[in-house]
Amino acid sequence: MIIAGCGPTGAVLAAELRLHDVRVLVLERDTEPASAARIVGLHIRTLELMAMRGLLDRLVAHGRKRPARGFFAAVDAPEPDGLDSPYAFLLGIPQPVVVRLLEEHAVALGARVRHGCAVTGLAQDDAGVTVELAGGERLRTRYLVGCDGARSTVRKLLGVGFPGEPARHHTLMGEMELGVPPSDVPAGLDVRPAGGNTCRVVVAAAGVPADPPTIEDVRAGLRAVAGTDLGVHSPRWLSRFGDATRLADRYRAGRVLLAGDAAHIHPPIGGQGLNLGVQDAVNLGWKLAGQVRGWAPATLLDTYQAERRPVAAAVLDNTRAQTELDADGPVRRLLTELIALPSVNRHLMEKITAIGVRYDLGPGPDLLGRRMPDVDVRDGRLYDHLRRGRGLLLDRTGGLDTGGRPDRVDLLTDRTAALDVPAVLLRPDGHVAWIGDDQRDLNDHLARWFS
């Protein structure tokens, strides 16, 4: 297997494939990691996935926990009551640290990573894909996944369309010091503490900013919006982004697939981009591994696009909606009133953090297709049993089995599990694939997902 791009999406995908003993080579065009210590936020669902693979403690040690609140357009609201996750917080962490830790994890599992290797060409046939690198080297692989970002070379070489809306407005983001006390920051500005005397500032640009932007661009944006530049100075880092939203026409063309920003782009408002890509990778990894290892049902790989593309489309919609909210306009004032309602607050929280995602797996209870929370089991937490990247049958009846698939599905028989149904079949990504107590019905679903 070859993966183009060793950002968070590519690194997670490589690790997921290695859990199934698939040989993986990751080609990263950059020779050195990014030096800008841009802080990203890992949302609840991504934290759950990291917990499933035993990575969460490692990430938390390098980050800072923040309350799970104010994610939708930075409208302040209390943390919703009853979030069914022990990971109901935002983890702020430098992006280079995330990339390094995830790459180290993939390499520890046996993935190979080559830096300074840019993909320049590809050709596929019925047996595999030939990948050409800058300099003329050619490599052969059964499948290729483009995790190579918004300007994806793989997507362009495939000729996959990337329709959407071009940028109409530009936004500036960075971490810097303020020249005024936090209490003097006007209401409605997206200015948040970032440690020490530094604050994270997000503001609409006044016109088209420089590339890369300067602190004067930030000052001009603040003056245009709030009438004051807050005396900002000493930036740690600055970046700019437009409000372009684009979604790939398809996520798969034969033996080549797309994931992460190669498949979708949107404004970073709400902090969903990195999270969306990591979740793509965990959805795809076990399905692609099953295809390579020869046990995947015929339609399994097609469920990657069927499940993940609608999720990306929904993220594009909610980021568009957030960018339409002026700093102190009537729509924002109305949303501020609505988000005070607990049901609205919870709905928007589940949308931004992806814990509300439900895949369409057919008729059944509401839990079917949703992610399974990390419930208590007899020997600790449920997610500890998903570290090998396999499916899991959690059986409270004591009478069910996995139908002779020990290399694909683990069995946890626990009559005391904190579960209000007899048994659940979990996919390796933690989503519920079956609920019930009938072995014959279970066998049908085992065959659907695990052959």
Exposure string for 286-302, b = 16+ CB within 10 A, e = fewer: bbbbbbbeeebbeebbe
Class of domain 376-450: alpha beta
Which pLDDT score is estimated for 36? 61
CATH superfamily of this structure's domain 2-163+246-353: FAD/NAD(P)-binding domain (3.50.50.60)
Which pLDDT score is estimated for 35? 59
Residue with structure tokens 């404004």? 267
C-alpha span between 183 and 243 (Å, rounded): 30
Which pLDDT score is estimated for 241? 81
Packing angle, helices 44-52 and 273-293, rounded to 10: 40
Q: What is the 3-state secondary structure (H, E, C) of 196-235?
A: CCEEEEEEECCCCCCCCCCHHHHHHHHHHHHCCCCCCEEE
Block means of pLDDT (10 residues each) for the chain, length 451 residues?
Answer: 98 98 97 74 98 98 94 90 93 94 98 97 97 97 97 97 90 92 89 86 87 93 95 91 92 98 92 96 98 96 98 95 80 92 96 97 96 96 98 97 94 95 98 98 97 90
Amino acid letter for position 335: L
Q: Are 235 and 217 in contact (CB under 8 A)?
A: no
CATH 3.30.70.2450 fits 170-242, yes or no: yes
- Segment (H or E) for 450: helix 439-450
Q: How many CB atoms lie within 10 A of CB 184?
A: 11
C-alpha span between 48 and 88 (Å, rounded): 9
Instruction: Select from 5, 99, 14 the least CA-distant residue to 285.
Output: 14
What is the residue extent of each domain of the chain?
A: 2-163+246-353, 170-242, 376-450
C-alpha span between 131 and 140 (Å, rounded): 6
Which stretches of 44-161 are DSSP H helices?
Answer: 44-52, 56-60, 95-108, 153-158
Amino acid letter for position 262: A
Length of the chain: 451
Exposure on the CB side of residue 111, measured as CA atoms within 13 A: 29
C-alpha span between 94 and 98 (Å, rounded): 7
pLDDT, one tens digit per residue, over 415-451 is 999 999 999 999 999 999 999 999 999 999 999 999 9
pLDDT, one tens digit per residue, over 182-229 is 889 998 898 988 878 899 898 989 887 887 899 999 999 999 999 999
Which pLDDT score is estimated for 171? 86
Instruction: Select from 213, 226, 4, 199 the least CA-distant residue to 119.
Output: 4
Which pLDDT score is estimated for 326? 66
SS3 content of the chain, % helix, strand, coil (to 5): 30, 25, 45
